[in-house]
Amino acid sequence: MADNFGSTSERSSTDYLAFLDGLRAIAILSVVFYHLYGDRLPNGFLGVDVFFVISGFVVSYTVSRRYRGQSAFHFVLEFYARRFTRIMPALLVCLLFSALATFLFVPDAWLSTSISKTASSAFVGLSNIFLAKGTDYFSPVTEFNPFTHTWSLGVEEQFYVVFPLLFFPWVIGPRGKRFSTLVYGALAVVSVAIWLHLLAANPLQAFYMPYARFWQLACGILCFQLVSRIGERTGFERHCNLAATIALIGLVATFALDFGKAYDGLENIAAVACTTVLIGCLYYLGSDRAPHFAVLEIKPVRFVGWISYSLYLWHWPILVIARWTIGTETTATKLTALLAAVAFSLASYFWIETPTRRLRLLRTAPDIAVVALFLAVIAAAFFGFKLMHDNRYEIALSTVMRNRGEWYATSPDTSPQSPGCAVVTETVEEAQFFTKGGCPGEGRSETLFVLGDSHAGAYIPLLKRFTLETGIRTVVVSTAGCPFVSLDLRHDTEPTCAHATAASAAYIAKIAKPRDLLFLPSLRLTRLSLQWAAGPDSSLQSSEQQTEQAVKNAIDQLTPLSKAGLSIVFEGPKPIFRAPAFRCSDWFNSMNPSCANGFDIDRKLIENLRSPILKGYAEISAALPNIHVWDPLPTLCPQVTCSAFRNGHPLFFDGDHVTAYANSLLVEDFVSEIESTISKDQTARVRM
């Protein structure tokens, strides 16, 4: 991807292999086209696999011709000096610019949680390691991360740690050549075996980790080592031309064909095999190549290859920032993003890549000085990134970030009426404990347990205010992504959610005491919008039989908690919206297609969607004692039309999570409901 070829002097030398630039052009165009129109080129991302093979071949070819009998230490040092010079200038500029654009336009959200950590990892060549611990490459989180593409550079940079050490024997003699080939061959076999195992056991590691990608780079190295030892022509020119033709057709077909899940990994093997054969044959043939291969060496194609590194660096962050702002759903916006990416790529190539490679200081300075200089530059760039990150709220153009006190589920832990009174927060296992400290009077004996998905977390400001006002301890147990008592069989039967909610309920049952309360806020309506796209059709209702079974499941889940003496309070379903408010509140994103459905919805529609849930609550209440419902709908939607905003203040962060501002409106009603519940249930127990 970021190899040693491309400078004017190298392209005019006898060592220049023009066909490699043609292959780079094919690889980068497939990657870019995939990111723009993935449905039309389903395996275009395999262009990265092609780059890995090319990189393995090129670094081998280059260092073997530059070896001048120096020691192993100086061999390695020169290699790193040239790698830094080739990779770092354009990369660091791209990382800093992308970071600035992110902090200007992208608000903090679940959809952007991995951005800053990916960026900081990219400065030290470890973004692939970070991404391997997180989210699938094909998930929305990675699609909205401007630094996702740096994973491949991380793989290459980690590969470069071992490459010169294992390749040095090759340049010092025949025995060294055999040794290096055997080592790379053995490691390639081991890497393939690990990769095949991880495809099923841990797909993230199979995709991102260097030991699972090593075989692709090793194929390029072995290709060079084998074809460079063939020597004189052996009469296989015709066969090699045929093999190269088949390999080129096969490579293009691999990009275009969908192999399906049943053949997972076969497309990678096909792309690497075709690229290896193609490079080996074209290198072997030299000027004896068939005429149709001349297309790889015509100047327009080679030019795309020359700028392929810069185009790879810039196309993704430009596309992602466009996705966050103007959107990339239409052909016009995609072409706008593409033209911007090409412009930045050309600027990077002509004003950063080429001048840096020609810089006399870097060409004549001792290798150790070049390495030291770039380490200092990397440190300075990273410091610049941290400075932007630490001041992101001040430099942001996003309304959400600049008015974060209204948007995010955070609030002061102190009471305006009692300056010394504060909420004391303690985290124990998977639970957050909120208690009142430094306040007049003593705390209450009751505990309010809160169990639910991310919607429970959205109520943190309300729960802290509740603790301050009542003195009742609050314990929040979150089952992120998994609603507790969803009244939806899809969640009831999902193994991960079933295990998480059962474990959380068991934890509460273990530490709760009679007369405590359990509040169950969760999303129980099908979303109308997601943070990254429109949601599914929420009008699709479960069958009567499915609803009946879901209610039975809910009663089974709640019976142990009810028998433990807990008063159980359900959250009445809140309004849901067709657009995520946090992505659509600024001049630069208000025209995004994700915002087209607006922030208003008919209350009658919400009432119809809520009806089966409220009916389920009633059936649960008939089966178990001390079941209650707190309904935020009247406060959040007092009119015939529900809105995500009120007088310019946000009520909803995305399509269904409430904001800190909404929390402030709901506190009084919530406190009243819980106090009423305590009073009612105490009276009922006395009568019993």
Closest to 148 measured CA to CA, from 35, 56, 55: 35
- Distance set, CA 34 to CA 30, 315, 519 (Å): 6, 11, 46
Distance in angstroms (rounded) separating the CA atoms of residues 667 and 671: 6
| 664 has a pLDDT exceeding 90 | yes
Return the beta strands (E) in 246-311 as ranges: none
Pair type for strands 447-452 and 473-478: parallel
Question: Which of 139-143, 229-233, 360-364 is the least confident region?
Answer: 229-233
Q: What is the pLDDT of residues 43-73, one digit of tens each?
A: 999 999 999 999 999 999 999 988 888 899 9
| Average per-residue pLDDT for the chain | 90
Between helix 266-285 and helix 210-227 the angle, nearest 10°, is 20
pLDDT value of residue 455: 94
Question: For residues 569-608, b (16+ Cβ closer than 10 Å) or e, as one string?
Answer: bbbbbbbbbbbbbbbbbbeebeebebbebebebeeeebee
Contact criterion met (CB below 8 Å) for 515 and 446: yes
Q: What is the pLDDT of residues 421-471, one digit of tens each?
A: 888 899 887 799 999 887 777 678 899 999 999 999 999 999 999 999 899
pLDDT value of residue 421: 85
Between helix 150-171 and helix 72-105 the angle, nearest 10°, is 170
> Percentage of the chain with pLDDT > 70?
93
* Domain spanning 406-687, CATH architecture: 3-Layer(aba) Sandwich (3.40)
Laid out side by side, the sheet with 422-428 consists of: 422-428, 431-437, 473-478, 447-452, 517-520, 567-571, 627-630
Q: What is the pLDDT of residues 561-584, one digit of tens each?
A: 999 899 999 999 999 999 999 999
Contact criterion met (CB below 8 Å) for 218 and 56: yes
Contact criterion met (CB below 8 Å) for 148 and 111: no
| 252 has a pLDDT exceeding 50 | yes
Distance in angstroms (rounded) separating the CA atoms of residues 557 and 555: 5
pLDDT value of residue 258: 84
User: Whole-prediction pTM value?
Assistant: 0.92
Which one is predicted more confidently, 478 or 668? 668
Distance in angstroms (rounded) separating the CA atoms of residues 98 and 409: 27
Conformation bin of residue 485: beta by default, left when phi > 0, alpha when psi is -120 to 50: left
pLDDT value of residue 262: 67
At 688, is the pLDDT very low, low, confident or very high (cuts 50, 70, 90)? low
Spans of all domains in the chain: 18-397, 406-687
pLDDT value of residue 136: 66
Cα atoms in the Cβ-side hemisphere of radius 13 Å centred on 444 = 18
pLDDT value of residue 487: 83
User: What is the token pair recorded at 407?
Assistant: 């948007």
Average pLDDT on 130-143 reads: 82
pLDDT value of residue 138: 65
At 478, is the pLDDT very low, low, confident or very high (cuts 50, 70, 90)? confident
| 291 has a pLDDT exceeding 70 | yes
Hey, which of 91-95, 108-112, 425-429, 444-448 has the most confident mean pLDDT?
Answer: 91-95
Distance in angstroms (rounded) separating the CA atoms of residues 210 and 154: 8
pLDDT value of residue 444: 83
The helix/strand/coil state of 462 is helix
